[in-house]
Amino acid sequence: MEESKKIWDVLLLGISNNISTVSYDMWFKNLEPLTIAYNKLILVANLKSAKNTINKNYRNIILDEIKKLNTYVDDYLIITPEEIPVYQTKIEDEKKEENSNYSSIFDPNFTFDKFVVGSSNQIAYAAAKAVASQPGTLHNPLFIYGGVGLGKTHIMHAIGNEILKNNKKSKILYCTTEQFVNDFIDSLKNSKDNIENIKFREKYRRVDVLMLDDIQFLSGKITSQEALFHTFNDLYQSKKQIVISSDRHPRELTFLEERLQSRFSSGLTVDISLPDLETRIAILQKKAFFKNVNLPINVVYFIAEKFDKNVRELEGALQKVIFYCQLKGQQPDNIDIIKEALKDDIDVTTHILSLDSIVDATCSYFNIKKQEVIGKKKLKQIVMARQIAIYLINDLLGVPLATIGSYFGGRDHTTIIYARDKIEELSKTDNMIATQIKDIKNMIQKK
């Protein structure tokens, strides 16, 4: 009511400047705003004769003033008091139908709680959380870009789920850009009496949040770009949240009109890049936890190192391992089983430098069991082999210290730093240590 009255007060001021005082007092003074529905300002006239007279003689004047407002309201409707109950029922029924179209569109598994945060996505995660907490006020539009399978869809669904959790009445439209284009084309094909055009406008503009996935699909679609430009402007001016995803930065969307590129860049642009080893490990551990599967750390490392292109591929590998082990009645507790499960996806005969391969070579060189090296035993020979393995991993792979510590039974980073620095210094003064390091490196390269 407050919004409709505010708009009506502005309209009345303009209307009064275009008609006589007598006409204003007779026909407009007693009109009352009821609500705004489907981009229309709904007004109540006490008499049917007043309704008919205004529509017949003053419609164009009212519409001209509405256009001057430059808001999402683009029409008006006058009803009488006895029509109010019928009209309100109609609005409620249409809202229920409309809300059903916006409900249950987000995957319940795609939440912020289940999104693994790492260096590759932490900024995007923080921005998405901020948008979900205050849609339309922070980071509008939010533009998320990154390669295939890195988590863009997950984070968009997480935004939707979080907003609905905070406010179940929020109207959120999430769709692919392809769907937007198809809807727009349909509105042009079936535009009898402009009904389909109105439906298209109402679908995409009468929302609290619009989320468009894969905006790069607009390439070469000039008319659709025009439609999106006007949709964007209408939503933005109404302080409605806009979230867009793409496979590249807005400045690289050279096929888009410059004004669209400018709009997309006007908010906050964040990227999701390839997850590093630590993040991939965390993803696997969290996914396994939610699936009630216990994966030993060496198995987690093996999968994380083999599948480093995107998160979707990583999750697919985990799912395949789980299915294979269930089928065979085995536990996913050793590398040989994992290699068998993933034999069609990785070349198990080709050597890939990894934490496992370095530790295996070190164990073979010193004739020590792997579990002893990554375990807690403190025999001098085992400790030396462990420290050399830590040094080699840091030297050849350069993985984070926390990752190395986790691999070696959860040791803290100070222990890893001590081992690394000790072997580095000994390699400069102790010929035997230097030779051992060289020999192990040769073993690794020959595998």
What does the H/E/C string look like for the chain?
CHHHHHHHHHHHHHHHCCCCHHHHHHHHCCCEEEEEECCEEEEECCCHHHHHHHHHHCHHHHHHHHHHHCCCCCEEEEECHHHHHHHHHHHHHHHHHHHHHHCCCCCCCCCCCCCCCCCCCHHHHHHHHHHHHCCCCCCCCEEEEECCCCCHHHHHHHHHHHHHHHCCCCCEEEEEHHHHHHHHHHHHHCCHHHHHHHHHHHHHHCCCEEEEECHHHHCCCHHHHHHHHHHHHHHHHCCCEEEEEECCCHHHCCCCCHHHHHHHHCCEEEEECCCCHHHHHHHHHHHHHHCCCCCCHHHHHHHHHHCCCCHHHHHHHHHHHHHHHHHHCCCCCCHHHHHHHCCCCCCCCCCCCCHHHHHHHHHHHHCCCHHHHHCCCCCHHHHHHHHHHHHHHHHHCCCCHHHHHHHCCCCCHHHHHHHHHHHHHHHHHCHHHHHHHHHHHHHHHHC
pLDDT given for residue 44 in this prediction = 92
pLDDT at res. 72:
65
Tell me the pLDDT band of 103, cut-offs 50, 70 and 90: very low
- Per-residue pLDDT tens digits for 121-131: 889 999 999 99
Is 262 found in the same domain as 378? no
pLDDT for 142 beyond 80: yes
pLDDT in tens, 334-357: 788 888 888 887 754 444 567 888
**CATH number (domain holding residue 6):** 3.30.300.180
Tell me, yes or no, whether 181 and 197 share the same domain.
yes
Residue 104 confidence (pLDDT): 47
Specify whether 329 is located in the same domain as 212: no
Q: What pLDDT, on the 0 to 100 scale, is given for residue 242?
A: 93
State the average pLDDT for the chain.
Answer: 85
- 392 in any annotated domain: yes
Q: Are residues 217 and 256 in the same domain?
A: yes
Mean pLDDT of 392-418: 83
Domain boundary among 272, 295, 316: 272
> Looking at the predicted structure, is the pLDDT value of residue 371 above 70?
yes
- Residue 7: inside a domain: yes
CATH number at residue 230: 3.40.50.300
Instruction: Say if residue 267 is in the same domain as residue 290.
Output: no
Residues 87 and 126 in one domain: no
- Give the domain-ending residue among 253, 272, 291: 272
pTM value is 0.58
Question: Within this chain, do residues 148 and 285 fall inside the same structural domain, yes or no?
Answer: no
Residue 447: pLDDT band (50, 70, 90) is low
109: in domain? no
* pLDDT tens figures, 236-250: 988 999 999 998 888
User: For residue 29, what pLDDT is reported?
Assistant: 87
Final residue of a structural domain among 272, 298, 333? 272
The alpha carbon of residue 253 and the mean position of all alpha carbons in its chain are separated, in whole angstroms, by 19
Q: How high is the pLDDT of residue 375?
A: 87
Arithmetic mean of pLDDT, 228-242: 90
CATH number, domain of 382, equals 1.10.1750.10
Please give the pLDDT value at position 384: 93
Residues 131 and 256 in one domain: yes
Do 265 and 288 belong together in one domain? no
- Of all residues in the chain, what percent carry a pLDDT higher than 70? 91
pLDDT digits 0-9 by tens, 162-205:
998 888 888 888 988 888 888 888 877 765 545 566 778 778 88
Q: How many domains does the chain have?
A: 4
pLDDT at res. 351 = 46
Query: 156 and 87 in one domain?
Result: no
Distance CA 439, CA 442 (A): 5
Q: Which residue range is the domain that position 286 belongs to?
A: 277-341
pLDDT for 278 equals 81
Is 347 inside a domain boundary?
Answer: no
Report which of residues 140 and 86 the model is more confident about.
140
pLDDT tens digits, one per residue of 259-289: 888 888 888 999 988 888 888 888 888 888 8
pLDDT attached to residue 334: 79
pLDDT in tens, 376-402: 888 999 999 999 999 998 888 777 777
- Same structural domain, 171 and 294: no
**Arithmetic mean of pLDDT, 104-111:** 79
- Residue 114 belongs to some domain of the structure: no
For residues 121-145, average pLDDT:
91
Residue-level pLDDT at 330: 86
| Residue 146 domain flag | yes
**Residue 186 belongs to some domain of the structure:** yes
Say if 111 falls within a structural domain.
no
- 159 and 182 both lie in a single domain: yes
Q: Across residues 410-415, what is the average pLDDT?
A: 85
CATH of the domain at 303: 1.10.8
Minimum mean pLDDT range among 98-107, 212-221, 384-393: 98-107
pLDDT digits (tens, 9 = 90+) for 22-81: 999 899 988 999 887 767 888 999 889 899 999 999 999 999 998 887 666 778 999 998
| pLDDT, mean of residues 353-374 | 88
With pLDDT > 90 as the criterion, what percentage of the chain qualifies? 24
